[in-house]
Homo-oligomer: A and B are copies of this chain.
Amino acid sequence: MTLILSNDDIRKSLKVKECLNVMEETYRELASSRAVNRPTSQSYLPPSLPQSTYNFKSVDGGVGKYGVFALRVTSTVDQEQHINNTVRLEKLPLAKGKFVGLVQLFSAETGELLAIMPDGFIQQTRVAVTSALGVKALARENSKVLALIGSGGQAHAHFRFLTAVRPIKHVKIFSPNPEHRNAFAKEMERETEIPTNPMESAERAVTDCDIVCTTTNSSRPVVKADWLKPGMHYNAIREFEMDEAGLAKSDVVAIHTQFGGIQHYQPPGIVVDMPGVRREKSRDWSRYPEICDLIAGKAPGRTNDKQITFFLNNVGTGVQFAAMGYCAYRAAKENGLGHEIPTDWFLQDIKP
């Protein structure tokens, strides 16, 4: 049977420890040439709405040890919206008020389609799990206070996974909207029984913490270099959440992956970028080790308690979707969740 899962099925069934173990093994597989990644590609079609573009994004990857291969696609109409003198790129909920993003899991042993699931919860989880492995590799063993900047889906996931790898006793939370930060702090305290405090500024949240984690959409620095003190670990999920000075001040720096760079495909003959095509500039990260090197012991991590460590969880990779898709599939099968469809519907006699 091929399983069709929902975000709720996945939310109910994913186990924190298993996600961490499977992702860690996945990075070991990558370090020993037993996992593969294809960089993200985006293909664009001209707008059916003003200032918009159809954007088909895909990435794939597989992990030998688990015998799975995953394809992640998003199929969206993206619109440039001018709000308060800034241009924002908004994905429009045109699919009956909803969005289309899917992870498809294949067996690398038989080729069969094992499962199709939405990418939303998986996406948040795969980022947070990798950040947690960065914490595991770089933060002080006795880290007790976490400063979390942000209150969205990524903040939720990072709260759950970062507190699972270090003995965190207290989480200080900042996000610009007081209602959001208060509600988020309460919600997570109730869920995890770890005391939380909403803070009035990012600086106050960071003061005296052991681990700083920014989970924002910001393209400007969120944490200032001055705030980073000896012994701290800083985790960013976007390159420019951290300023250049903060980077220079860090004693140990690692990134998720050197791999990638999005490949953009516009219709032939189009030389000016269509609305919605974003080619992000990046700093040069080529001198820093990857998380899989840290995990496999090929690169040094923290060597003393005074060092400032920095992990940039930069771009997503296919193996992350394979690892988390595998966890979701296995857990859903154990718990009898999801809709079952005959696998035969996705098989054929004709040799491809």
Contacts and interface: CB of A to CB of B under 8 A. Distances in A.
B120 A99 contact: no
Identify the interface centre among A36, A61, A113: most chain B CB within 10 Å of its CB. Answer: A36
Q: How large is the interface on A (under 10, 10 to 19, 20 to 34, 35 or more residues)?
A: 35 or more
Contact of A109 (B43, B94, B107): B94
A98 interface: yes
Identify the interface centre among A58, A75, A349: most chain B CB within 10 Å of its CB. Answer: A75
A172 to B, nearest CB: 26
Given A99-B348, A347-B96, A106 B75 contact: yes
A58 B56 contact: no
A95 B347 contact: yes
A145 to B, nearest CB: 30
Interface in A89-146: 91, 93-96, 98-102, 106-113, 116, 118-121, 123-124
Contact of A56 (B62, B63, B73): B62
A33 B268 CA distance: 5
Interface string A33-44: 111111001011
B56 A43 contact: no
Interface string A153-197: 100000000000000000000000000000000000000000000
Given A36-B44, A109-B77, A350 B118 contact: yes
Given A69-B43, A112-B95, A318-B43, A102 B346 contact: yes
A4 B91 contact: no
Copies of the protein in its oligomer: 2
Nearest to A348: B118
B95 A110 contact: yes
Interface in A283-324: 318
A246 interface: no
Contacts of A94: 109-111
A7 interface: yes
A274 to B, nearest CB: 10
Interface string A246-267: 0000000000000100010111
